[in-house]
Homo-oligomer: A and B are copies of this chain.
Amino acid sequence: MSFAVFLGVVSADPDMLQDVCVADLASKVKVNGFPCKAAFNVTDFFFDGLAKPGVTNNTLGSLVTAANVQEIPGLNTLGVSLSRIDYAPFGLNPPHTHPRATEIVFVLYGELYVGFIAANVLVAKTIKAGEIFVFPKGLVHFQMNVKRAPAAVIAAFNSQSPGTLTIATALFAAKPTVPDNVLAKAFQIDAKEVEMIKAKLAPKS
C-alpha cells in the first residue's frame, strides 16, 4: 500500500472513509451511530462550544454542555467525547448514570464533592482544581459544588454519545408518568408524597 500512496495513484476518498467516518447528521438513513459523509473538512473535528461557562441559574444550579458526535461529527465511530459541566455556588449535578460510557472529570476551578455507588457502597471524595475523578460505566454518580463560588469541570467519556439517565427526572417526570404505586412502593413513601415530587420535577412550560 505504501507505494500506491507514495505515487498518489489511489484517490484519498476511499482511504479517508476507512480512517474516519464523519457523521452525516442529516442522513435519512439512521444506523447505530451515524452514516458517514462523503466528504469532510477540518471543522468536523473542531468545537468551541465549551469555551465559555454555561448558564446555571436553574433549580439544580448546574448545566452540562455536551461535545459529542452531534456537536463534533468527526467523532462518529471513534468512541470518545467530552462535556463541560458548570456549577453555581452549591449547585448539584444530580444522581445519574451514563449507559454507554465511563466518565473521568478534570476540575477546571472550584471544589466539588463527587461520588459513585457500586453495590450499595458510596465511593466519594472532595476534589479541587486540577484533580481527577473516575465514574465507572453505568454506575449512578453525582457532583455537588460545596463552595459559595462557581465551579466547572471537563468530563471525558469513552463513547461518541454516552447517554444520560437522570434518576429523579426519569422516574418522577417521565411521560407517560410512572404509576404512583410503583414509585410509592420503591421509595416506601405514600402516593401523596409521590404526587408532590412529580409536581416539583415536572418540566416547566
Residues of A within 8 A of B (CB): 1-8, 10, 12, 14-21, 24, 27, 29-33, 35-38, 41-42, 45-48, 50-52, 58-60, 62-64, 66-67, 70, 72, 74-83, 92-97, 99-104, 106, 108, 113, 115-125, 127-134, 136-140, 142, 144, 154, 156-159, 161, 163-179, 181-183, 185-189, 193, 196-197, 200-201, 203-204
Apart from A2-B96, A48-B132, A80-B103, list 17 A-B contacts with CB within 8 A: A1-B66, A6-B58, A6-B169, A7-B204, A15-B119, A16-B121, A19-B138, A19-B139, A45-B123, A50-B132, A51-B129, A78-B136, A140-B167, A140-B170, A156-B156, A168-B187, A168-B188
Which residue from chain B places its CB closest to the CB of A99 in the assembled complex? B138
26 contacts between A and B (CB under 8 A): A1-B96, A2-B60, A2-B164, A2-B169, A5-B169, A6-B59, A6-B166, A8-B120, A15-B119, A15-B163, A18-B163, A47-B132, A48-B131, A78-B158, A80-B104, A80-B134, A80-B157, A82-B156, A95-B171, A99-B99, A99-B139, A106-B154, A122-B176, A140-B165, A140-B170, A142-B186
- CB-CB under 8 A from A52, the residues of chain B are 130
Nearest Cβ on chain B to A51's Cβ, whole angstroms: 3
A136 touches B64 (CB 8 A): no
Which residue from chain B places its CB closest to the CB of A178 in the assembled complex? B122
Nearest Cβ on chain B to A2's Cβ, whole angstroms: 4
> Number of copies of this chain in the oligomer?
6
Max count, chain B CB within 10 A of own CB: residue among A27, A29, A92, A120? A120
- CB-CB under 8 A from A137, the residues of chain B are 78-79, 99
Max count, chain B CB within 10 A of own CB: residue among A14, A131, A170? A170
